[in-house]
């Protein structure tokens, strides 16, 4: 992710010059029509705040003879700068990607005005032509209104990251995530002429009103944007804005009653569509498992706060606020971005359960639905991240493997935990066990708290609501025969009385339930042997026994990239491999082929260096490569692959 503060006009001008050199002069006529719309001229809201009603409201904040714009509409504002005493526009900050906010951006590019956009909508500005090339229109169920995107790429000079502050000439713009009207929308909160002003895009158009309902539907028949808007109105109200500046409609003084009114009406609308009693996300309540253990079973993944008498908390998992949030953000995530996360539940833990700080967060396993909030905790709460030792590489280098449910953001691990390790944290003692099956990168953590023996088991076991436990099977998660049996053996040996699962509510566990489960997963192993033709069963379970590491490499033309070939031998005999990379014309690997001997049931790796020729200009940012393999004399062909993201040396904006 790029930090908005690190961007200067100079960086932008270099970028603009590079893009002009690459593409020739921008053809403004293709992005403008011959219409001559009426221009009412700007209106003063307060001493240094103006609005022009264009295709959207364009707000100008003035500081001396410098100006900053919130959204840009068709660009009509540029005609009025002199009369407003402004000679230079330093920035355009966009609240969201819709065309009415940004259709004139090519004019700003021509005037070399830098543009900053919401971090999770960067691709809908800078790379929007890729959206149009790939967005399926037939069989439309993803009804999310990406169709109201720009038609041409716009160079982006900075991204506006949630909960960060954008600084301009002594003004601080707090970036409050306000998803709803779009999944990536932001509100910019700042002080202007001694008032707290919120530039809220299309969150609310008038007290108690939205501009459109269709923008609040992301998937066929769903109402995600309604639930998200209710969250956003509540989160924005915490800033106590004195003036709300919407993208459509008049600015609203003392907006909180109108925001509450809208929230209540949207909540009624949500319940109209969920008569069975589904709750809006902000109304989810934590439940007390024991006096010191608070569970949140309604979040995407159930997360647990273990709160010590000192007020320090340990979080076991911390993902999205709800399934609605999770799916809405997941489906809107760009190929090169990470899923959005907005803060939730912490205020309730503080108010009701005496939480003072979040000292440590531990993921039960490496899945995004369980640790999506970890970077936020580390960044904004100083939380230390501990995890099971085989997850460290995945958290610290998420581009390395192609596994299910990997979060696209680097998470720095402060302490690895080992299989069998017992550790103390505050007044509690925990024991950690390796617990493969759902994924190889999972642990079970056992503790006796308030006289309850609890097992935090992630996604190893789920209750069926009666007297059985269920499990699941995802081959992309590195699963082997025997793994699920190993996970239930931990339970039989450690004898917890309560399973605290990764989804759903905690439930009581007995020996009988555990033995039933063991029998059930032993049958799974029998199915594996029965169904897979290869006598070495795990060969048929592992799509990645030969790997190019990292799976998502990054490369700059002319500079060597270090890769690694990794092999897992599932057989009882040694394997001798000969491997060569299959690369685009002109790319080179050193050595050109690699020989590897892998012990029975063992692993091996070998380094390789790959170089893309200087000046290489493939037309795609991402290129696939493959590994061609001979094993024990048998030609298996290109059984492994990876992708290479080619970056120019000056390219700085990428999230991971
Ligand atoms: Zn809009
Ligand atoms: Zn999982
Ligand atoms: Zn999960």
Selected residue with higher pLDDT from 72 and 464 = 72
How confident is the model at residue 656, as a pLDDT? 52
Expressed in angstroms and rounded, the spacing between residue 367 Cα and the centre of ligand 3 is 6
Rounded CA gap, 560 and 488, in Å?
Answer: 46
Rounded CA gap, 611 and 588, in Å?
Answer: 5
Expressed in angstroms and rounded, the spacing between residue 459 Cα and the centre of ligand 2 is 5
Selected residue with higher pLDDT from 397 and 40 = 397
Q: What is the pLDDT of residues 376-398, one digit of tens each?
A: 999 999 999 999 999 999 999 99
Position 465 confidence tier, pLDDT thresholds 50, 70, 90: confident
Expressed in angstroms and rounded, the spacing between residue 71 Cα and the centre of ligand 3 is 38
pLDDT for residue 23 is more than 90? no
Q: How far is CA 112 from CA 11, 74, 76, 88, 566, in A?
A: 11, 16, 16, 10, 47
How confident is the model at residue 276, as a pLDDT? 82
Position 26 confidence tier, pLDDT thresholds 50, 70, 90: very low
How confident is the model at residue 14, as a pLDDT? 43
**Mean pLDDT, to the nearest integer, of 523-544?**
97
> Which parts of 3-157 are beta strand (E)?
43-46, 49-53, 57-63, 66-70, 88-93, 115-118
Q: What is the pLDDT of residues 209-228, one digit of tens each?
A: 999 999 999 999 999 999 99
How confident is the model at residue 32, as a pLDDT? 62
pLDDT for residue 150 is more than 70? yes
Position 27 confidence tier, pLDDT thresholds 50, 70, 90: very low
Q: The tokens of 336 are what?
A: 């090169």
Q: What is the pLDDT of residues 481-509, one digit of tens each?
A: 999 999 999 999 999 999 999 999 999 99
pLDDT for residue 653 is more than 70? no
Share above pLDDT 70 across residues of the chain, in percent, rounded to a whole number: 94
Q: Which residues surround ligand 3, an ion (CB under 5 A)?
A: 301, 369, 459, 502
Expressed in angstroms and rounded, the spacing between residue 67 Cα and the centre of ligand 1 is 23
Expressed in angstroms and rounded, the spacing between residue 408 Cα and the centre of ligand 1 is 27
The number of the ligand nearest the C-alpha atom of 366 reads 2
Bridge partners, 52 (sequence order): 58
How confident is the model at residue 355, as a pLDDT? 98
**Mean pLDDT, to the nearest integer, of 576-598?**
97
CA atoms within 13 A on the CB side of 273: 14
How confident is the model at residue 233, as a pLDDT? 98
Rounded CA gap, 545 and 605, in Å?
Answer: 11
Average per-residue pLDDT for the chain? 93
Q: What is the pLDDT of residues 109-138, one digit of tens each?
A: 999 999 999 999 999 999 999 999 999 999
Q: The tokens of 357 are what?
A: 């700080």
Expressed in angstroms and rounded, the spacing between residue 644 Cα and the centre of ligand 2 is 27
How confident is the model at residue 435, as a pLDDT? 98
How confident is the model at residue 31, as a pLDDT? 52
**Mean pLDDT, to the nearest integer, of 177-205?**
98
CA 342 from chain centre, in angstroms, equals 10
**Mean pLDDT, to the nearest integer, of 565-594?**
97
Q: What is the pLDDT of residues 281-310, one digit of tens each?
A: 999 999 999 999 999 998 889 999 999 999
Expressed in angstroms and rounded, the spacing between residue 145 Cα and the centre of ligand 1 is 9
- H helices of 80-127, where? 99-102, 105-110, 123-126
Expressed in angstroms and rounded, the spacing between residue 504 Cα and the centre of ligand 3 is 10
How confident is the model at residue 28, as a pLDDT? 44
Rounded CA gap, 314 and 455, in Å?
Answer: 15
Expressed in angstroms and rounded, the spacing between residue 341 Cα and the centre of ligand 2 is 17
Of 1-15, 343-357, 613-627, which has the strongest mean pLDDT?
Answer: 343-357
- Beta strands 603-611 and 588-590: pairing type? antiparallel
DSSP designation for 400: S
Q: Which residue pairs from 140-146 have beta carbons closer than 8 angstroms and sit at least 24 positions apart in sequence?
A: 140/220, 141/219, 141/220, 142/218, 142/219, 142/220, 142/331, 143/217, 143/218, 143/219, 143/220, 144/183, 144/217, 144/218, 144/219, 144/331, 144/332, 145/98, 145/182, 145/214, 145/215
Q: Is the pTM of this model over 0.85?
A: yes
Rounded CA gap, 335 and 133, in Å?
Answer: 14
Expressed in angstroms and rounded, the spacing between residue 400 Cα and the centre of ligand 3 is 21
How confident is the model at residue 5, as a pLDDT? 39
Expressed in angstroms and rounded, the spacing between residue 306 Cα and the centre of ligand 3 is 19
């Amino acid at each position: 992710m790029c930090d908005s503060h690190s961007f200067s006009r100079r960086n932008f001008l270099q970028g603009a010059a590079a893009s002009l050199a690459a593409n020739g002069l921008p053809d403004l006529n293709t992005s403008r029509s011959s219409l001559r719309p009426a221009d009412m001229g700007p209106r003063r809201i307060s001493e240094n705040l103006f609005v022009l009603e264009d295709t959207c409201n364009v707000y100008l904040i003035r500081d001396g003879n410098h100006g900053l714009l919130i959204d840009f509409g068709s660009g009509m504002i540029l005609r009025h700068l002199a009369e407003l005493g402004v000679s230079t526009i330093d920035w355009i900050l966009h609240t969201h990607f819709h065309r009415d906010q940004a259709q004139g951006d090519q004019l700003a590019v021509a005037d070399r005005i830098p543009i900053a956009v919401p971090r999770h909508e960067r691709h809908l500005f800078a790379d929007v032509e890729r959206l149009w090339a790939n967005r399926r229109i037939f069989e439309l169920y993803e009804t999310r209104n990406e169709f109201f995107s720009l038609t041409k790429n716009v160079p982006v000079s900075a991204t506006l990251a949630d909960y960060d502050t954008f600084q301009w000439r002594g003004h601080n713009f707090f970036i409050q995530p306000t998803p709803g009207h779009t999944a990536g929308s932001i509100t910019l909160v700042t002080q202007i002429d001694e008032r707290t002003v919120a530039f809220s895009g299309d969150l609310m158009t008038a007290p108690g009103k939205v501009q459109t309902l269709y923008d609040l539907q992301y998937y066929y028949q769903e109402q995600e944007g309604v639930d998200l808007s209710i969250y956003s109105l509540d989160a924005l109200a915490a800033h106590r804005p004195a003036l709300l500046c919407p993208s459509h409609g008049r600015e609203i003084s003392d907006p909180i009653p109108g925001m509450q009114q809208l929230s209540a009406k949207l909540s009624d609308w949500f319940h109209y569509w969920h008569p069975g009693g589904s709750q809006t996300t902000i109304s989810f309540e934590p439940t007390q498992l024991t006096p010191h253990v608070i569970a949140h079973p309604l979040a995407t993944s159930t997360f647990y706060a273990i709160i010590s008498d000192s007020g320090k908390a340990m979080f076991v998992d911390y993902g999205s606020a709800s399934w609605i949030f999770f799916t809405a953000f997941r489906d809107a995530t760009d190929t090169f971005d990470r899923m959005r996360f907005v803060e939730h539940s912490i205020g309730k833990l503080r108010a009701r359960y005496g939480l003072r700080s979040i000292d440590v967060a531990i993921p039960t396993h490496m899945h995004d639905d369980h640790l999506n909030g970890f970077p936020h905790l580390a960044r904004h709460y100083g939380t230390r991240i501990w995890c099971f030792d085989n997850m460290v590489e995945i958290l610290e280098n998420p581009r390395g493997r192609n596994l299910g449910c990997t979060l696209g953001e680097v998470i720095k691990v402060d302490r690895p935990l080992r299989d069998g390790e017992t550790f103390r944290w505050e007044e509690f003692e925990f024991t950690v066990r390796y617990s493969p099956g759902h994924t190889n990168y999972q642990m079970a953590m056992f503790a006796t708290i308030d006289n309850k023996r609890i097992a935090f088991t992630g996604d190893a076991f789920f209750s069926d609501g009666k007297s059985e436990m269920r499990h699941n099977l995802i081959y992309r998660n590195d699963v082997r025969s025997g793994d699920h049996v190993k996970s239930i053996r931990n339970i039989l040996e450690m004898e917890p009385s309560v399973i605290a699962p990764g989804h759903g509510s905690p439930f009581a566990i007995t020996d009988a339930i555990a033995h039933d489960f063991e029998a059930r997963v032993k049958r799974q192993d029998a199915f594996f042997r029965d169904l897979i033709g290869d006598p070495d069963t795990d060969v048929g379970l592992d799509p990645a026994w030969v790997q190019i590491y990292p799976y998502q490499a990054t490369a700059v033309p002319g500079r060597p990239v270090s890769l690694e070939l990794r092999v897992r031998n599932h057989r009882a005999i040694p394997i001798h491999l000969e491997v060569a990379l299959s690369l685009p014309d002109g790319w080179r690997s050193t050595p050109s082929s690699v020989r590897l001997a892998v012990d029975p049931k063992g692993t091996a790796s070998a380094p390789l260096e790959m170089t893309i020729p200087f000046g290489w200009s493939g037309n795609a940012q991402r290129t696939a490569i493959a590994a061609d393999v001979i094993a024990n004399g048998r030609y298996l062909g290109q059984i492994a692959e990876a992708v290479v993201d080619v970056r120019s040396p000056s390219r700085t904006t990428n999230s991971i």
